[in-house]
Amino acid sequence: MRTVLLTKPRLPAWLARIRQRSRLIAPVPDADGVLDWREVEDPAQVVLPPGAPELPLKKVFFPPSETMLRYAYRGDRAAVTDTPPALEPFVVFGVRPCDALAQRIADLVFLGDLPDPYYQARRQAATIISVNCTEALPECFCASLNNALTEAPGSDLLLTPLNGDYLVEALTAKGEALLAETADDPTAASEADLARKAEVAAQTAAQQTRQIDVEGLTELVRAAYHDEEFWKKQAEACVGCGVCTFLCPTCTCFDVRDDAVSGRGLRFRCWDTCQFADFSKEASGHDPRAQQWQRQRNRICHKFWYSVDRCGVISCVGCGRCLRGCAGHSDIAAAIENLRARAREEKPVTADE
C-alpha cells in the first residue's frame, strides 16, 4: 500500500479533484453552526475541530430516518416495492479514527450472513478518508480502548498531520485506487515520516485524561449485572432522553413504522434507543426494562459485554460524544471506574493482604 506526503496547502485542490469525480461528504456546519455530515460544495466549507464532530459518522450509512418500502393497496389488491438506495461511489472526508472504527463495528450488526441491503449499498459505495487527531478533547478516551489513533481500522485512507504536511496512508485497495486517481504527483513518505506519525499518535493519546481499563472488563460487567443498587446509582442523573445512544457511533437500534393514507403508503425506519420507555415494551404491557436504570444498564452491558459475546469487540470507541451530550453529565468512563471500585470492595480479603 502506498504512503505519501501531501503538503497542507495542496489539500483543498486534492479535495476539489475528488469532488469532480464523485460526491464528497465531510463535516460542514449547518445553519445553526452544528457540524453535520453534508455534501461539500467547496473544500473551504470543511471544518475539522479537535475530537469527533458533534454528529456521528453512522448517519451517512444509517440515516436517522429512511424509507424502506412503498406500497399501494385497494380492496384485495396490493403491490409492494422496496427502495434500496442506488448509489454512485462517494467519498467521506474528515472522519476521525474513532468514527471509522465505529463504522466497522456497526458493520458486524448490519452486514454478516443476512446483510441489511440499505446499509450495505451505502457502505459499498463509500470510500472513507480519515484524518488523524493531533489534539484530544477532555472527553476523548479512545487510546485506552483501541488502536484507532495508530491503525485507524475502517478507514480506506488515513491522513496524519505532520507539521507542514499530511502523511497519507492507503489502508485498503479502495483507498489506494482513490489516491492513485486523484493525488497530483505526491512525494513518497520516508521511514522518518512514519516515525513522526507514531509520535503524533502518542502525543494525542497522552493528552487524553480519561481512560477505560479494559482488562477483565466484560467479566466485571457480567458480575455486576444483578447489583440493582449499583445500576440505580449510575443512572441517578439520567432523564432518559436517549442522546447518549443517538450520538453514539456504534448504537444502531431502529424502529420500523408504517405511514399511509388513502391506500398508499410507505414503511420507514428511524433511529430508536433502548433508553426510551416503549423500546422493549410488548403490546401485552410486559416490559423487560421498565425502569430507567435497567435501560442504562442495558446500554453499558451492551457496550462492554453483549458486543464482546456476539461480535468479539467492545462497542465503545471512546469518542466521548455521550459525555459531551448528556444533560445529566453522566460519564461512561466514570461508570466503568465505579464498576472497578465495586469489584475491589467486593473482593474478599485474603490472609496476606
Partner 1 sequence: MSDVATDQRCQPCALKDNPYLPHLATLTLVREEGPNLMTFEAQFNDPEVARTFTYMPGQFIEVSVLGVGEAPFGLASVAGPHRPVRFSVQKMGLVTTALHGLSEGATIGIRGPFGNGFPVLAHKGKDIWIVGGGIGLPPLRSVIEYLRENCHDYGKVCIVYGARSPQMLCYKDCLLEWGREEAFELNLTVDVGDETWNGHEGFVPAYLEELAPSPENAVAYTVGPPIMIKFVLQTFDKLGWPKGQVFASLEAKMKCGFGKCGRCNVGPKLVCLDGPVFSAEELQHLPWI
Residues that bind partner 1 (CB under 8 A): 68-69, 71, 73, 76-80, 82, 84, 109-110, 114, 116-117, 225-226, 252-258, 260, 263, 265, 267, 269, 272, 274, 279-284, 286, 288, 298, 301-302, 305-306, 309-310
**Which CB, 163 or 284, lies closer to partner 1?**
284
Q: Would you state the cell numbers that stand for residue 237, as one nine-digit string?
A: 442523573
Phi-psi region of 194 (alpha: psi -120 to 50; beta: other; left: phi over 0): alpha
In whole angstroms, what is the distance from residue 323 CA to residue 334 CA? 10
Give CA–CA dist 343/181, Å, rounded: 54
CB of 302 to partner 1, least distance (A): 8
**H helix intervals, 241-286:** 243-247
Cell of 312: 468479539
Q: Which is nearer to partner 1, 109 or 189 (CB)?
A: 109
CA distance 23 to 38: 10
CA distance 95 to 49: 11
Q: Which is nearer to partner 1, 27 or 242 (CB)?
A: 242
Cβ proximity to partner 1: between 67 and 207 the closer is 67
Residue 41: CB minimum distance to partner 1, A: 33
Alpha carbon distance 276, 251 (integer Å): 14
Cβ proximity to partner 1: between 201 and 274 the closer is 274
